[in-house]
Homo-oligomer: A and B are copies of this chain.
Amino acid sequence: MTTEEEREEARRYAVEQLEATGVVLTDEERASIEVTDFGLGRLRETGLQLLVYVNTDRHCAKELVLYPGQTCAEHRHPPFEGTPGKEETFRCRRGVVHLFVDGEPTPRPGCTPPPGVYTVAHEIVLRPGEQYTIPPDTLHWFRAGADGAVVSEFSTASRDELDVFTDPDVRRLPA
């Protein structure tokens, strides 16, 4: 399992990356950064660091920080409480993000998934200043390039605990 020391290190890395991107954080925010290894215990391979700015029942904004080559496991945001599910826009701020969504598989993608279950293979490469909107209930996963990445996420209400992962071994819990 991911140790408390690894979590602390991941939080420090996230703060450093966010500050290098020009993001100003409060002390409270620095301490609130969430680290998840998706229950797999291989944080730097499959994991994510998140800072939630706001999450009401109508709108949400987060910063996502990835280690070099780190992957957010394939998932979708299903409908809930009469809504179609979370609709989200990823905007790359730093580094490169390889985002994969449903559609024609990209012949020579910029990266491959780590061990686990991955089924969508249409690649969208996001560099700083580039963004992509993912419709609700749509499978997607993403992996940072060799320098890691910072991604701003703008969305409707986020309910992480409802996320549906393709890999039955994945658990969306803090590391």
Q: Which residues of chain B are within 8 angstroms of A29 by Cβ–Cβ distance? A: 129
Within 8 Å by CB of A24, from B24, B129, B154, lies B129
Q: Are A154 and B22 in contact (CB under 8 A)?
A: no
Chain B residue at minimal CB-CB distance from A93: B24
Q: With the chains together, A129 CA to B129 CA distance in Å?
A: 21
Interface check A25, CB cutoff 8 A: yes
Q: Which residues of chain B are within 8 angstroms of A54 by Cβ–Cβ distance? A: 89, 131, 133, 154
Interface check A98, CB cutoff 8 A: no
Q: With the chains together, A168 CA to B4 CA distance in Å?
A: 58
* A90 CB → nearest B CB, Å: 10
Interface check A155, CB cutoff 8 A: yes
Interface range for A: 20 to 34
Interface check A91, CB cutoff 8 A: yes
Interface check A156, CB cutoff 8 A: yes
* A142 CB → nearest B CB, Å: 17
The 6 closest A-B pairs by CB, nearest first: A22-B22, A61-B154, A24-B128, A24-B129, A54-B89, A26-B129
**Given A56-B87, A59-B60, 11 new contacts (CB under 8 A):** A22-B22, A53-B154, A54-B131, A56-B133, A58-B87, A58-B156, A59-B155, A61-B61, A61-B152, A61-B154, A154-B154
**9 contacting pairs across A/B (C-beta < 8 A):** A22-B22, A58-B87, A58-B156, A59-B60, A59-B154, A61-B89, A61-B91, A61-B152, A156-B156
